[in-house]
Amino acid sequence: MSKKQDYNENSIAVLEGLEAVRKRPGMYIGSVTRKGLNHLIYEIVDNAVDEHLQGECDKIYVTLERDGSCTVVDNGRGIPVGMHEKGVPASRLVFTTLHAGGKFDDGAYKTSGGLHGVGSSVVNALSSYMDVEISRDGYIHHDRFERGEPTEKLVKGLLPTIGKTKATGTKINFLPDPEIFEKTDFKGDDVKSRMHETAYLNPNLTIIYEDKRKDEVEHIEFHEPDGIKGFVKDINKNNESVTDIIYFEGKADGIEVEVAFQYINEFHETILGFCNNIYNSEGGTHITGFKTVFTSVINNYARELGILKEKDDNFTGADVRNGMTAIISIKHPDPRFEGQTKTKLDNQDASKATSKIVNDEIVLYFDRNLETLKSVIACAEKSRKIRKTEEKAKTNLLSKKKFSFDQNGKLSNCESRDAKKCEIFIVEGDSAGGSAKEARNREYQAILPIRGKILNVEKASIDKVLANAEIKTMISAFECGFSEGYGNDFDITKLRYDKIIIMADADVDGAHISTLLLTLFYRFMPELIYEGHVYIAMPPLYKAIPSKGEEEYLYDDTALEKYRKKHKGPFTLQRYKGLGEMDAEQLWETTLDPERRMLKKVEIEDGRMASDVTEMLMGNEVPPRRAFIYEHARDAELDV
Ligand code: TSJ
């Protein structure tokens, strides 16, 4: 068999591989929604970050171009372009072979280790085009692909050069294929926060982000020389701190461990785990190693100091982490992942290494900083006290569950028990609630009016939240319990409604109610959001009444603009001030009727984003709050 034939057979296999990616993109990138779209960028950037981890690059440029493409540039060594076995330049294999990479960089920490990195070949396969410039050995080498297939002719098995250079580095420009993706406009905010996070995890790296799609080009340099310490500081920036930021690092069994944490005056914990710079949303062995050691260390100290007496129970893990914000970042040569989304670190040696480092370093620290230790224990005591109260409150609530179904006689439940069909509208205000009850389809639509401003759950402790009658009614109506960190009674499979629809006025009070409810769901019943059960109703802002033709409801200002352009003759514009202004029939037509209404689904990417979001929502300024609501409003799709 000649060498040439080898290459042909091989190239057929390559094309079949990339064809498989195009056929089932979801298998490789999770989804073809906007979220999957952004992952294309992260995948490419992660390759450049790998070069940084090798100590070979300190700048990465990420540019969202006006034409919808993305450019990523690094100042590393440049992907090797020499002829590889099979007569193709090594770099071309990177873009055409599934799971290529690792061949010529053994021993490196790879972000793309495990099942995370989908590989640059997947990005290539899902791009209308990918343009590659590699600067090395004095030349700029050029390659190009369309839907994964090379279009550049090789010169004696090598890439053509398009210029000379003394610099080295890799430049990739790619355009996501609209045949594959639902939406092809990258979400700048998400890219930004991911790049910022990468900068925190790599204190010697600078990421230069540019969004050229904006009228005024957005240019941000992310450089965080304080590393994960800076990350903790940033997460806690709007909170009252109880301790300094505690930081330590160490290495055991070839695994590098880095930890930063700080206590704030809040009743929840935020613990983020990273392995080789990749966020592990499901946690894993590094996190459990940290938690186990931390709990035992604090309990030992508390007994030594006589704060826990012989008769006292130990603090629980949740007690000792009450108010804690922590980042645990490890570097592992061969990470393995498990869990539903393959984001849970599975290596047992990661747990061992983390435990060892944390144990050694934390004892060293607390021995020298007794005041900090005492503050930490005080947080644990506070938590234990609240926990006891809450356990009582919860027992009361749960024992009354069956009878307390409708405590105030306010819930108008639906008749059907087929959860797939049922919906509950949580309606702001009694007058709108009254109309909604009249207007609804009682077969499958339940109405729960709530009045005034319910509690701000982000700030209140849980027993106070549970004492609120409206919240109790709501929780019992859902029929799936709730979770609050100390044992989880939440069971989403028991949820009585497929859709939980928040219906509030499009004013500041309405926005406040919506955010309060969202915060409550996010904090106590996050699966409701993750599994897409929470919606916000969008009543129309206007009704256009033309002198000839049909009346039309307009749901936002864009719709109004469109109407103005499209509609020639004169028309009267009726502006709705609030839900309370609509009669039952109007409310049905505009907001309740599944055939005609507009709903927006509440979506949250993951825990990191969510804590940001909660913070933003609960902050005292009104504008960011509105921004959140509006942001989701733009994603609104007619629910039919
Ligand atoms: F994803 C990607 F492949 F397209 C990509 C790779 C994208 C970007 C923006 C950068 C990179 C990349 C790869 N930057 N730097 C490298 N480095 C290597 O591939 C490399 C360079 C030299 C050597 C060597 O052993 O000399 C080995 C490797 C893996």
Distance 54 CA to ligand 1 centre (A): 10
Find the catalytic residue in 19, 65, 498, 509. 509
What are the two backbone dihedrals, phi and then psi, of residue 83, each rounded to the nearest 5 degrees?
-70, 130
Find the catalytic residue in 9, 391, 507, 635. 507
- Average pLDDT, stretch 28-37? 82
Does the pLDDT value for residue 81 go beyond 50? yes
Q: pLDDT averaged over the chain? A: 84
Quickly state the pLDDT bin for 116 (edges 50, 70, 90).
very low
Q: Which residue's C-alpha comes closest to atom 21 of ligand 1?
A: 79
Ligand 1 nearest atom to the CA of residue 105, by list position? 29
- Predicted structure pTM score: 0.69
Does 507 qualify as catalytic in the annotation? yes
pLDDT at 31: 80
Does the pLDDT value for residue 467 go beyond 80? no
Ligand 1 nearest atom to the CA of residue 108, by list position? 29
Q: Give pLDDT tens digits for 256-269.
A: 999 999 999 987 88
Which residues line ligand 1 at a C-beta cut-off of 6 Å?
44, 47-48, 51, 72, 74, 76-77, 79-80, 94, 104-105, 120, 170, 172
| Least confidently predicted of 244-248, 431-435, 443-447, 610-614 | 610-614
Does 509 qualify as catalytic in the annotation? yes
Calpha distance 586→552 (Å, rounded):
12
Does the pLDDT value for residue 472 go beyond 70? yes
pLDDT at 251: 96
Does the pLDDT value for residue 640 go beyond 60? no
DSSP symbol at 86: G
Calpha distance 185→202 (Å, rounded):
27
pLDDT higher at 452 or 337: 337
Distance 48 CA to ligand 1 centre (A): 6
pLDDT at 639: 32
Contact predicate 128/176, CB 8 Å: yes
pLDDT higher at 54 or 523: 54
| Least confidently predicted of 19-23, 133-137, 355-359 | 19-23
Length of the chain (residues): 640
Calpha distance 260→271 (Å, rounded):
10
Does 505 qualify as catalytic in the annotation? yes
Calpha distance 225→242 (Å, rounded):
24
Of 142, 170, 171, which is best to mutate to test ligand 1, by the most ligand atoms within 8 angstroms of its C-beta? 170
pLDDT at 361: 97
59: three-class secondary structure by DSSP: strand
Does the pLDDT value for residue 55 go beyond 80? yes
Contact predicate 228/258, CB 8 Å: yes
Calpha distance 339→14 (Å, rounded):
30
pLDDT at 410: 84
Q: Which residues contact 382 (CB under 8 A, 6 or more apart)?
A: 322
Q: Which residue's C-alpha comes closest to atom 5 of ligand 1?
A: 47
Does the pLDDT value for residue 357 go beyond 90? yes
Does the pLDDT value for residue 211 go beyond 90? yes
Calpha distance 577→583 (Å, rounded):
13
- Average pLDDT, stretch 511-539? 83
| Least confidently predicted of 43-47, 52-56, 113-117, 355-359 | 113-117
Does 85 qualify as catalytic in the annotation? no
DSSP symbol at 488: B
pLDDT higher at 437 or 401: 437
> Token digits for 504?
């509030």
Calpha distance 421→353 (Å, rounded):
50
Query: Is the C-alpha dihedral spanning 274, 279, 280, 281 positive or negative?
Result: positive
Distance 78 CA to ligand 1 centre (A): 5
Q: Give pLDDT tens digits for 586-609.
A: 899 999 999 888 888 887 654 454
